[in-house]
Amino acid sequence: MTRANFLGAQGGRELIAFLSGAQSQTEVELRADRRASPRVIRLSRQPKAACLLDRHVIELAPAPRRPIRSAPAAIPADSVVLTNSAAFRTALDHQDGRAPRHVRVLVDATDPSLREARWSDPVRELLALHERTFMTAKECAPRLAGGSFVVSVVGGVTEAGVPLPITGLFTGLVKSLALELPDTNVLATVHAAAPLEEVLATVSAELGAGQLLPVTYHVGGRRLTPRAVPAEATPDGVPALGQDSLVVAAGGARGIGAPILAAMARRYRPRIVILGSSQLPRDSGELPERSTFIRAQLNGPGRVSVAEANARFDRLREQRQVRDTLTELERLSGPGRVRYLRCDLRDPDAVKRAVDSVDGPVDLLLNIAGTNRASDVTAKSVGDFRTVRDLKVHTYLNLKEALRGREPRRWCNFGSFIGLTGQRGETDYAAANDFLNMAAMSAENEFTIGWTLWRDVGLGATPLMRAFLAEIDAYTPMPTEEGVDHFLTELTAVRDAPATVFLGDKERELVRGIRPEFLDFCMGEARALPYIDTVLRRDATDLVAERTFTLDRDGYLEFHQVRGYPTLPGTFVPELAAQAAVSLVPNRVPVVFEDLRLESFLRIYRKDRPEVKRLTATLLRTDERESVVAVRVLGDVVAPNGVTVARDKLHFSVTVRLRDAPVPGPRWTHWDEHGSKPLRDPYHAPGSDVLLREVFRSTTGTREHPLGRRGRLALDAPALRRWFPDLLVPSVTLDGLVRVAVLHTVADRWTPVAIPRTVRRIDLYGGHTDLTLAALTEPVELYVTPVDLDLEDPEPENRAIAVAADGEVLLQVKDITGAIVGYVDQESGQYLDRERFDRQERS
C-alpha cells in the first residue's frame, strides 16, 4: 500500500487525528506507556543540529496560470449553486433538473465585519454556508466523477493580499476534498471584491489550468497560491515571558500542550491559567490497570457494558493526567501560580465567565483545543463535522470575544500542517486549521504553528501505534524535546511569520506524492525549461544562458527546413525569449513581445555538429504591474564546411513584457464565408525553399477573403505532446497564423513563400499553449487583414489574430514584415524561387 493510499484507507482513520497534530481527546496522553499512572516527561533543550523537522513560513506567492486543458463554462447547466448572496442568487440560475455533476459555491465575504475574526451575523451566516458546502459534497460526491466542485470566495482577500480568517474555512475544506475526489476538478478561487462576471471568468480559466494547490488568490491582476518557504526563526532579543507574566491556555492540560506548559514554567515561572473541559479527580488515588478496572466494573453492582467500562476508565485516566500536569506546573512555576478553570470552550458564556475571573493583562494566550474524527466526506456525519470544526473555530471566536478590550500581548494557535496541504478524511479538521492560519495572518501579534507528529505524546506514544507508524514509515516521529524547542524558539522569534508549519523529510516525500510540483514551488525552484540548458550568469537584472541544438534532441527541426537545412522557425523566438525572461523574472508570465527582429537563421547543418547558442536577458524595468525584459539570442555562425564565419553574431532580439497573470482576450466578430476563395498552403509544396511537414502542418482551410486572409487551426495533439509538452508560448499556432499572412495570388495563380523578418508586437491572451488550443472542441479561426497586405512594406500596418469559436481573441500579431523567397503554383504545386519567378514574369 502506498503512503498516499494509506492516508485514505478506512483502517487508518483514527490515526489521522494524531498525524494531523490534533490536540484532542485522541491526543492527550502525557505518559510513556499505557500504565494507569502517567509519569511526567522531563525535558532538555534539543540542539538545533539534531532537529528532524524544519520550520517553514506560510505565505501567498505569485504563481502564473498554466493552462492544461480547454477552459470550460464557469457554471455548466447541470450545476448546483450555493451562495449566501441574494444578488448572486438572482444572477445565477443554472439548475436544469438533471442530477448535478458540478457544484458551485459562491461566497460573498465583502461585509466589512468579516475583516476580523469575531462573532457577528455575517460570520454565523458563512459558518452555515460552510456546513451546507460540506453536506452538498457529501450528497453529490458519488455523481461528481468527471465533473467539478468550485468554491469562490468574493472579498475573501484584501487588496493588500491578506486573506480573511473566514476564507480558511472554505480553502481548507477544498484542499482535503480535492484529495478525496481525485476524478473531480476541485478547486477554490479567492478574490478581492470583484464583479461577478470577473469572478466567473477566473473560475473558467482556473478549471482549465494546472494547480500547485487547489487554491488560488486573485488580487489586482495577480494570481497567488499559498506556499511554505523554509526559514529559520530569528530571535528578537526580548525575553518572551517573566515571573510577572500571565499565560492563559485554552486546553493544554493533556496532549502536546502539557510538555510545552511545563517548559515555559521551568524557564520563565509565569502565572498559568488553564481552561479545560475535564473534571479533576475527586480522590488522589491511582487507577488500577485497565483490565483490572474493567473486570471490577463488569462484576460490580450496576453492571455496565465493556464499552462503557472502557469509556469510564478513559475519563478517569484523563482526570488524573490533568491533575498530574497541574501538580508538575505548580512545582515548576511556584505555589499558587497555577489555576485550572473548567469550562466548555464552545460555550461563549462559559468562556466569558472563565476569562473574567482571571485578573491582570494576558501576556500569552495559547489556543490549543482541538479534536479529530477523520473519515471520508461520504462517511462523515454532519455531527462529527460540526464537532471537529467548531471546537477550534468556536473556541477561537469565543476567546476573541471574551478578551475584547484586554487583548493578549501575544496569541498562539496550535494548528496542523494539514491546514496547508489538506488530507483525506479531514475536510473539517483542515478547514479549522486553515481558519487559524488565516486568522493569524490578519491579526497583530498572533501566530499559528502547524504541527505534525509528536513521537512521545498522544496517540503516537502507545506501543501499538508506534509499531504501526514504524511499519508504514510515513511520518517523522518528532521527539517531545524537539517539539518544545521549536515552540520556545517561535515564542522568542521576530514577529514577522504569522503562520508556520514544520516538515521533515518524510512529510516532504508525502506532499510530493500528492502535490508533485508544490515543494519545488515552495523552494522557489522553477520548472525545467526546454530551451535553457545552463545558466552561466544571473543576478537581479541580467541573465546569460546556453542552449545546445542537435537533431538528436530537436528532431522536429527536420520538419521545418529552409533551403534544405533544419531550421528553427522564426516564430519560436518568442518561446526562447519567454524562457529566458521567466528565468530572470520567475513567477510572472509573458503576455507581450515587442520589436521582434530575426537577423539570421538558427540552422543545424550536420547531425554531428551541435549548435550552441547564448541567450541573454536584461531587465529594463519592473513594477507592481509588469516587468520588461530585453532578450537576445547569439551564436557563432558556422558554415556548412565547418568554418566559423562570425562569433557572437546576433540571431534574434525581442522585448518581453511579463505580468503576474495572463491577460483576457478582446472580442472578435467572425467573418461569414461570402466571397472566400480556397488557396493551397505554399509551405507544404514539395521543393519549396521553406518546407513544413508533420507537427508544423498546423492549418487547414486556407483561403482568401474580401476582408483579408483566412485559415483554421489544425494542431496535431500527439505530435505536440511528443515535441513540445512544456512550451510557454503557443509557438506552433503562432507559426501557422503568421503563414496565413502570405495567402494571396500573384498573376492569378502564384502564391508567395516568405520568411518573417520583423514583428512589431505579439499579444498572448488567456495563457494558452498549443496543447490547450489543440484540446478545444470548437475550431480556432485565423484571420489576417488588410486585404492588400504587403509583407515587404518597410512601414507595415497589418494584423493577424487567432479567435476561439465564441469570439475570444487568443493570439494577436501586429505589423509583420518578411522577405519573399519564392512562389508556388496554385494549380500544379510547382515551386519557383524568386529569381526564376522574376525572370519568368519579365519574359
Q: Dump the DSSP string for 298-321.
A: HHSSS---HHHHHHHHHHHHHHHH
Partnered with residue 710 across adjacent β-strands are 703, 783
Burial label for 714, CB within 10 Å (0-12, 13-18, 19+), is middle
Mean pLDDT of 557-583: 95
CA distances from residue 769 to 655, 719, 724, 725 in whole angstroms, order as listed: 20, 14, 10, 9
Structural contact between residues 651 and 711, judged by C-beta atoms closer than 8 angstroms: no
Q: To the nearest 10°, the Cα dihedral for 500, 504, 507, 512?
A: 90
Q: What is the pLDDT of residue 461?
A: 57
Lowest mean pLDDT among 60-64, 584-588, 641-645: 641-645
Q: Tell me what the mean pLDDT of segment 212-236 comes to.
A: 91
User: CA–CA separation, 341 vs 278, rounded Å?
Assistant: 10
The pLDDT confidence band at residue 463, using thresholds 50, 70 and 90, is low
A 10 A CB-CB count for 726 gives 13
Most confident of the ranges 47-56, 371-380, 391-400, 544-553: 391-400
Q: What is the dihedral of CA 262, 264, 268, 271, to 10 degrees?
A: -70
The neighbour count for residue 559, using CB atoms within 10 Å, is 17
**More confident position, 1 or 781:** 781
- The more confident residue out of 33 and 214 is 214
Per-residue pLDDT of 103-153, as tens digits, reads 999 999 999 999 999 999 999 999 999 999 999 999 999 999 999 999 999
Contact 329, 262 (CB under 8 A): yes
Mean pLDDT of 235-242: 85
Residues in the chain: 843
Residue 44: its pLDDT value, please?
38
What number is the average pLDDT over the span 412-439?
A: 95
pTM: predicted TM-score of the whole model, two decimal places: 0.74
The residues facing 649 across adjacent strands are 635
Residue 8: the pLDDT is: 43
Determine the Cα–Cα distance for residues 206 and 211; give it in Å rounded to an integer. 8
Greater pLDDT, 408 or 38: 408
Structure-model confidence comparison of residues 327 and 67, the more confident one:
327
Residue 306 vs residue 217, higher pLDDT = 217
Q: In the predicted model, what is the mean pLDDT of residues 606-624?
A: 91
What sign does the dihedral 91-94-100-102 (CA atoms) show? Answer: negative
User: Would you say residue 420 has pLDDT above 90?
Assistant: yes
Burial of residue 501, with CB atoms counted within 10 A of its CB: 0-12 exposed, 13-18 middle, 19 or more buried: buried
Q: Looking at residues 24-34, what average pLDDT do you find?
A: 30
Beta bridge partners of 413: 367, 448
Residue 313's φ and ψ, nearest 5 degrees, are: -60, -45
Neighbours of 350 (CB within 10 A): 18
pLDDT tens digits for 351-387? 999 999 999 999 999 999 988 888 999 999 999 999 9
- Minimum mean pLDDT range among 101-115, 179-193, 605-619: 605-619
Phi, psi of 477, rounded to the nearest 5 degrees: -80, 100
pLDDT tops 70 at residue 37: no
Q: With b meaning 16 or more CB within 10 Å and e meaning fewer, what string describes 66-77?
A: bbeebbeebbbe
Average pLDDT, the chain: 87
What are the cell numbers at 431? 478547514
pLDDT for res 126? 97
Burial class of residue 613, CB neighbours in 10 A (0-12, 13-18, 19+):
buried
Contact by Cβ (8 Å): 492, 514: no
Given a contact cutoff of 8 angstroms between Cβ atoms, the answer to whether 756 and 830 are in contact is no
Average pLDDT over residues 420-429: 94
C-alpha to C-alpha distance for 300 and 242, rounded to whole angstroms: 51
More reliable by pLDDT, 523 or 694: 694
pLDDT for res 510: 87
- H or E, element range at 534: strand 534-538
Q: Tell me 327's DSSP state.
A: H
Q: How many CB atoms lie within 10 A of CB 97?
A: 6
